[in-house]
Amino acid sequence: MDNGRLGWINFRLYQSISNVLVIIGLISLSLNTISVTDAGSAFDFELILFAIWLIFFLEIFFRQFAQENEVPQYLRSTAGLIDILAVVIPAVGMVIGLDHADTALLCTVWVFKLLRETATLALLKRVISNERKILTGVSTLFLIVLFLASFLAYVLNREGQSDTFGSIPAAMWWAITTLSTTGYGDAVPSSFAGRVLAGVVMTSGIAVFALWAGILASGFARELRRYEFLRNWDLVARVPLLAQLEARELAEIVRLLRSSEVTSGSIICRQGDPGDQMYFIVEGTVLVSTSEPVWLGSGDYFGELSLITGEPRTATVSASSETSLLILDVSDFRVLLANSPKIANAIESVAKQRLELLRKQSQSQY
Ligand code: CMP
């Protein structure tokens, strides 16, 4: 859903304010659990919680006025559901007559408002969905190990330690704390066989958790690469030199490019430094500080001369506005030239003109 503007409040600004309110609310409800028992505390955290609740309540109406046509869509979205529950759950507490302190605890549901706009949650959902088969496989393995560990712990220790290993469910608590390598130490097998089993269970636990972590980490890395690819694909279309590539070549180069945002005034490359990458300007303007300064804008490129000649950078280039760049490393630059003669010709003919201009400028200086 395009959030656009929330009435007269800019949506992004409101979102930041809302997050701050949630954090203040969660701190207040935590501190309120101290003040409940501390009669000396004069601060009224419940009043703060009520004020925040009121703002969240009004937020739903603001959204209604701001996006009349989209209200049903908003109410049906996960974000809308979270907003409504954030208001309804504490209200239910008040209506059914919970005391103020317990009603305040229900405000814990606000924690989910922090998640409603983050891309992280959507990313996590996609990663879990992509990797569900292998995650299910490893979870099954975990359950098998858990059950076998509980069973063996019960068989090996039930005689001497019937209080902690007297049944399979009781031994399961030991198995979980051992598999997760938490080891509270409240249940410790005393027999030799029991200790050998504990060693095996701990090692299996580390292996299973490492598998989970590895699957999730590689899933995240794959999703981020896919996201970067899609974003770069859109950006490349704005650089005419690259846009003339065939779809297959384009897909290859998009994989090699890195995007970067540069703030106004920052130096992108410095005269005299060795050249290790070239830059395509997606948006913004850069200043090439040659003796007669040149400004380059969207669709232009720079930093190619030192890659072609192997000489140091011919000029300092700095961003004269917020600039969005695509960066190509020297080795990938060579791949691009080798794979696409059309682009190689275009870059080389512009490079000739630039070098000629630089030569003339340096001659006129003497
Ligand atoms: P390089 O020498 O690697 O680093 C500085 C870059 O500035 C250079 O590559 C060119 O891409 C760019 N540059 C130098 N002179 C000019 C010019 N006259 N016009 C446009 N760009 C230039």
Tell me how far apart the alpha carbons of residues 365 and 111 are, in angstroms, rounded to a whole number. Answer: 66
Residue 83 CB: number of other CB atoms within 10 A?
A: 22
Tell me how far apart the alpha carbons of residues 229 and 258 are, in angstroms, rounded to a whole number. Answer: 9
* DSSP secondary structure, 231-275, as one string: HHHHHHTT-HHHHTS-HHHHHHHHHH-EEEEE-TT-EEE-TTSPP
Q: What 3-state class would DSSP assign to 325?
A: strand
Pocket test for ligand 1, best of 354, 357, 359 (most atoms within 8 A of CB): 354
**Phi and psi based region of residue 6 (left: phi greater than 0; alpha: psi -120 to 50; beta: remaining):** beta
Q: CB neighbours of 277 closer than 8 A, spacing ≥ 6?
A: 303, 307, 327, 328, 329, 330, 333
pLDDT band at 141 (very low <50, low <70, confident <90, very high): very high
Average pLDDT, the chain: 89
Residue located nearest, by CA, to atom 12 of ligand 1: 302
Do the beta carbons of residue 223 and residue 131 sit within 8 Å? Answer: no
pLDDT at 248: 84
The token pair at 85 is: 């529950």
Residue located nearest, by CA, to atom 16 of ligand 1: 354
Residue 359 CB: number of other CB atoms within 10 A?
A: 10
Tell me how far apart the alpha carbons of residues 180 and 157 are, in angstroms, rounded to a whole number. Answer: 20
Nearest atom within ligand 1 for CA of residue 275: 3
Nearest atom within ligand 1 for CA of residue 361: 18
Residue located nearest, by CA, to atom 9 of ligand 1: 303
| H, E, C per residue of 171-225 | HHHHHHHHHCCCCCCCCCCCCHHHHHHHHHHHHHHHHHHHHHHHHHHHHHHHHHH
Q: What distances in angstroms separate CA 190 from CA 161, 180, 186, 235, one per listed residue?
A: 8, 20, 12, 65
Nearest atom within ligand 1 for CA of residue 315: 5
Q: CB neighbours of 65 closer than 8 A, spacing ≥ 6?
A: 7
pLDDT band at 253 (very low <50, low <70, confident <90, very high): confident
Nearest atom within ligand 1 for CA of residue 314: 2
Using alpha carbons, select from 101, 95, 120 the residue that is nearest to residue 49: 101
Interval 22-81: pLDDT, tens: 999 999 999 988 855 555 555 789 999 999 999 999 988 777 666 555 556 777 778 888
Whether the predicted model's global pTM rises above the 0.95 cut = no
Using alpha carbons, select from 313, 315, 309 the residue that is nearest to residue 296: 315
Interval 97-131: pLDDT, tens: 999 889 999 999 999 999 876 778 888 889 999 99
The token pair at 33 is: 């659990």
Average pLDDT over residues 137-163: 95
Tell me how far apart the alpha carbons of residues 107 and 149 are, in angstroms, rounded to a whole number. Answer: 40
Nearest atom within ligand 1 for CA of residue 312: 2
The token pair at 297 is: 């804008």
- Beta-strand ranges (E) seen in the chain are 5-6, 9-10, 258-262, 267-269, 277-283, 286-288, 294-296, 301-302, 317-319, 323-329
Ligand 1: residues with CB < 6 A are 269, 275, 288, 290, 294, 302-306, 313-315, 317, 354, 357-358
Interval 196-233: pLDDT, tens: 999 999 999 999 999 999 999 999 999 998 988 998 88
C-alpha dihedral, 51 to 54 to 60 to 62, nearest 10°: -80
Pocket test for ligand 1, best of 241, 279, 302, 355 (most atoms within 8 A of CB): 302
Do the beta carbons of residue 333 and residue 308 sit within 8 Å? Answer: no
pLDDT at 13: 80
Q: What distances in angstroms separate CA 111 from CA 23, 58, 108, one per listed residue?
A: 8, 18, 6
Q: How far is the CA of 206 from the centre of ligand 1 (A)?
A: 54
β 294-296/267-269 pair status? unpaired
pLDDT band at 330 (very low <50, low <70, confident <90, very high): very high
The token pair at 52 is: 């925040």
First to last CA, the chain: 62
Using alpha carbons, select from 80, 83, 75, 74 the residue that is nearest to residue 52: 83
